[in-house]
Amino acid sequence: MKSSSGPLSGIKVVEFAGIGPAPFAAMILSGLGAEVTRIDKPRSFEASVGADLFTSNAMNRDRRSIALDLKSAAALDIVKMLISKADGVIEGFRPGVMERLGLGPEVIREINPSSTFVRMTGWGQTGSLATVAGHDLNFIGVSGLLNAIGTKESPVVPLNLVGDFGGGGTMAAIGMLAGILRARISGEGSVVDAAIVDGVALMGTMFEGLIAEGLWSMERSANLLDGGAPFYSIYFCGDGRAVAVAALEPKFFAEMASRLGLADHPAFSDQYSRETWPEMRTLLTETFFQKSRAHFEALFANADACVSPVNTFSEAKLSPYMTERQVFEEVQGVSHPRPAPRFDNFSPSVSPPPFPGEQRDEILGELGFSALEISKLEESGVFG
């Protein structure tokens, strides 16, 4: 029987509103049942066309929001009350911003000695670049991974998945969980320096090992996993749509070649012979271009050949398998990937992103404020 309580039910996190990896980390935690209270700026994010950019941003979902003017002493008092009751705090500002607000690590530790304070940045809290501006592409460039992604001619921009969300937000969520677990065991809080450059470098561990073993070339598109191998690559079909071929192991390679009618061709006799790779690639390019992608989807349906369609975002939502798995959920006209990973005793549902300050009275009520006190705070400009 599915439970309505997530695995992180009872965990309380205070999030300072930001962009990119920190909200992504908070979304991961809230999707698994943590109660995340987001501190927003007291202003509207309505665009000229009338769309509310905050509530249409899928990563802002599953939270409660209170909007506060952090220049106000009364607002800071409210923040401190929230932190005193929280298991964790997450922020994504440049180093020094929280200190200038009067909410640095020493203050937070004094307020709540067992709290986990996750500081999400690109360059980290220390180092000569710590206070320098940067974005995903800068961080993965310095970390070494960007140079390995792309064609022979040039690196390519791999969206902001490798840095912001892989090395950044995901690592920040892991840091939060590890810190909370430590606090539960020892009672000791932690300050977590979640730097994208650190996380991205960690994600490259396997490649560092391959380099040390002499199994990885610094030349792009010359290796087994970077498109250099013709059986681990992308091919266009006759209708201009693409398929992904990832037949790395011999048995999968043999199944792919057999279904394409190429098993007896000399170029396919020795999968790992680099001498035959150029001809193998030419044959695969010509073969896939002869038919539509739908033809190859049917040809490889449920086959252990590791050939799959390269779907657009729209096509992914209509994919029979993604539909079968219920990977996406539509909420107020916005498609949301559902929380991951999955638990056998928890069935999550996505709640829409709140407007900044939407749960103000509810949150303040839980802190003990009366309606009259809230009204007085409003008159004083604490909420903007």
Residues with catalytic roles: 135, 164
Dist CA 191 CA 90 (whole Å): 10
User: Residue for token digits 């980290």?
Assistant: 124
**Nearest 5°: phi and psi at 317?**
-70, -25
Element (H, E) at 194: strand 190-195
**Nearest 5°: phi and psi at 291?**
-130, 170
For 300-328, give the DSSP string.
TTT-TT-EEE---HHHHHH-HHHHHTT-E
Dist CA 254 CA 266 (whole Å): 13
Cα 70 to chain center, whole Å? 28
Residue type, 60: N
Dist CA 232 CA 293 (whole Å): 17
Dist CA 67 CA 263 (whole Å): 64
CB atoms within 10 A of CB 317: 15
Residue type, 246: A
Dist CA 132 CA 94 (whole Å): 8
